[in-house]
Amino acid sequence: MTVEENKAIVRRCVEEAFNRGEPAAMDEFLAPNVVPHPLPPGIPHDREGLKRFFTTLLGSFPDYCLTIEDMVAEEDKVVIRSTISGTHKGDFMGIAPTHKKVTWTAIEIWRIEGGKVVEIWGEVDQVAMMRQLGAIPPPGHG
């Protein structure tokens, strides 16, 4: 696969699975043995675990939207810097719905093999999200 083909796979996965809120569509892009490293404790680090976590995320933020701000690729890896937003309308990690529109950022590395995503690493700014939800006080207020 070329670097451009790998970038297209990641872009399509974001657009056709994540932003349409269709976890089942992930099967087209993720290898059966994909290892998603950024999942919370207690969720299996496999394709079904990622789909389960995303379904939970959609229940909390039904208008979830991931915007790719930057995309860089080399060989079998694609890196995206993204902005994620959604309105908190369902319980999230024990936080009752606030109905607040929140925005957070992430940086992820996707590894592609044979036209499928086989590994994902990610760093998500969960502190920013939790501050917006009121679960963490802003600096100097705690």
Does residue 43 contact residue 49 with C-beta atoms inside 8 Å?
A: yes
Q: Tell me the C-alpha to C-alpha distance, in Å, between residue 97 and each of 61, 62, 92, 133.
A: 9, 12, 7, 9
Task: Write out the H or E segment, with its range, that includes residue 104.
Answer: strand 101-113
pLDDT in tens, the chain (142 residues): 999 999 999 999 999 999 999 999 999 999 999 999 978 899 999 999 999 999 999 999 999 999 999 999 999 999 999 999 999 999 998 999 999 999 999 999 999 999 999 999 999 999 999 999 999 988 886 5
Instruction: Determine the Cα–Cα distance for residues 139 and 142; give it in Å rounded to an integer.
Output: 7
Give the pTM.
0.92
Q: Identify the burial level of 115 via C-beta atoms within 10 angstroms of its C-beta, where 0-12 means exposed, 13-18 middle and 19 or more buried.
A: exposed
Residue 140: what pLDDT?
80
Residue 38: what pLDDT?
77
Task: Write out the H or E segment, with its range, that includes residue 78.
Answer: strand 77-87
Residue 138: what pLDDT?
82
Residue 142: what pLDDT?
59
For tokens 């789909």, the residue is 51
| Region 3-133: CATH code | 3.10.450.50
